[in-house]
Structure 1
Amino acid sequence: MSPTSPDAGAPRRILHVFRAPVGGLFRHVVDLTRLQAGAGHAVGLICDAGTGGARAERTLAELAPQLALGVLRVPMRRNPDPGDLAALRAVARRAETVGAEVLHGHGAKGGVYARLAPVRGAAGAPGGGPIRAYTPHGGSYNYRPGSLLHRLYMGVEALLARRTDVFLFESAYVAGRHRAYVGAGRTVTRVVHNGIDEAEFVPVVRADDPFDLVYVGELREAKGLPVLLDALAALHGAGRPLSLLMVGSGPDEAALAARAARLGLGAAVAFEPAQPIRPVLARGRVMVVPSFAESLPYVVLEAAAAAQPLVATDVGGIPEIFGEAAGELVPPRDPLALAEAIARLLDEAPAAREARFRALSEAVRARFSMRSMGESVLSGYEAGFRARASRGPAPAAGRRGPASA
């Protein structure tokens, strides 16, 4: 993507708003930032001040030379909180100060801030104020349909849709959930798959004495990790004493370590903090993604691109990544099915296994281009500007005091 690309549009002033600078969502924002800055746009970030740790600090410092609109870190809570009002005011002040033309919210909390921040009219946006773009990254769309929380959050999304100029769904799965539970509406809607860089298609070189299995991601129950441990215990019981490396951080780390110990797996499971994925892939024979819900997870894209042998559950947008090979996916919440899939993959002839995952890598290369992702997001912004010009600004979020308030 270049400044003269037909999809790039006029140079814009873009603020990405999200809560936690961790995981796949943060990677997506970082990739977009680099692509958009490289295409001549002025880009800035707004995120939580208290999450991400040293790794996020390093990434933001490396990104700083490309951030013409800078980085603002303010306290943001995961769940609804009275502090959200202060965060909304901070987002609005920043947008006004830098003359933002696009407020792009990522994830449920970032989407709330980007769409509700009461920004006064900006010269660059037809109808006054920046356009509001939203990429859910799963979030509230992953709650079980029919549950109280699902009904509540879909009601909130229906209200926020009135403040949205363009939806940029990262998977057809989430776009379908939006249509089913929020409604199609008249807002510009695009499916923009996460993209992978060409360097990520280089196969990893297996480390000496690798673990049998590796998991990379958040350490929380919704990622299916209790099921993975139960599957590992079943494999041990069947005479297959496999080892597992779990890389990541999260609120359930202590509970998972305790569960592994209760299952007699203490010596078979190793925990390590979050780190770059490719060296981790090299340390495992098979990567396992046992999630209960996902949108379009980068860890699956990254592993598939690297031709890493992979067992994953049939949830969210994962079938979109596997494409014609989606029949190989495993039902979620089923430890015996997961154990059987792992055993089958480990027992497969090495040449056949390598050929199968090389084919998946080539399919991902053809369908999940980072360049295409960047151009499609910019094209979505421009469609949002055109729609805004034709219908006028979105409903006001309310009045507020002077920018210094």
Structure 2
Amino acid sequence: MKVLAAMSGGVDSAVAAARAVDAGHEVVGVHLALSRMPGTLRTGSRGCCTVEDAMDARRAANLLGIPFYVWDLSERFKEDVVDDFIAEYAAGRTPNPCMRCNEKIKFAALLDKAIALGFDAVATGHYATLADGPNGRELHRASAWAKDQSYVLGVLTEPQLAHCYFPLGSTPSKDLVRAEAAERGLQLAQKPDSHDICFIPDGDTRGWLSEHVRRAPGDILDEAGAVVGRHDGAHGYTVGQRRGLQLGRPSADGRPRYVLSIRPVSNEVVVGPQERLAIGTIAGGRFSWAGEPGFDPAEAFACEVQIRAHADPVPARARLVPIAEAERTEQHRAGASREIVVDVDLERAEPLLGVAPGQTAVLYLGSRVLGQFTIDRALPAQQRADVVGAL
């Protein structure tokens, strides 16, 4: 098999490429240049895709004896990931740029180019597994849940899964991968993992956004609509935030308040008590299936839902339904005709906390990834419980 190994410059992708070579595949390494500032160097463990990372990837490829190239996808990355990130925040949503990067860059632009060049598969260092099910290729969690990365791969579709190769999926721990890298003589064996948003390497998301999103002061309201403070830009707030609200008027009970929602049209931030962050129902669009579900998603089905990469999945029931015009909110995407509605099984699980529009929800059936969607709206758990109790 002819394999294109995506080499980020980290230990995982280097070992994945090495295992592809050991498996007898014809392997070519490629590093994606995504930064529009080619002089950028990594600081500690923040960021990725820097000049330093490219050099580390090249050294690893040389040690493995495979051809190596650098592909400049910075323009595509800016349009599909950075600009999308800015637009989402400007619209009052909290996006996940890593999901968009996997969807638009690593498994769309890269995979499309690889197939056009005659490669059979793209290998990455992600911790996830693939299986052939009764309805085609399926995506599953890695054998080690602590390192599982299937959540960020939930955007992949069946045609893309057919050309994916994850050599690390059955590895029990990252320590074993580092030990293997050391045994192979890879200098990056102890290189720290990257974290945070790669195009905001200093970790100051609010500061970065203030340079890219127009700042417009507005009101901070309580749930009754009373003005309790002012903000200098709604994009600087996220659902669930407690610190930095600078409220001029304390709550009647003296308890702290949290951001409950952001209203981009009126430029208002709504705050309230922590219990109002408990969510029982989420819904949204921009959905995709990671392979054929094997059932009609318009009929309610049991599943688990996970709303963050490192969150615990919770039992739920989901269904694909038409969007009722009367229920449209400013968070709904224009032109969307259907959405996925997910009800948490409140008898078996705690409500979801701090759910923000723009986040990605990934649905699982056991270890299998069913698909994903972008959250547009959320219903408080108490309101959901009242509705269920009245049925």
Q: TM-score range by the shorter chain?
A: under 0.3
Q: Larger % of strand: which?
A: 2
Please, what TM-score do these two structures have when normalized by structure 1? Answer: 0.27
Higher helix residue share: 1
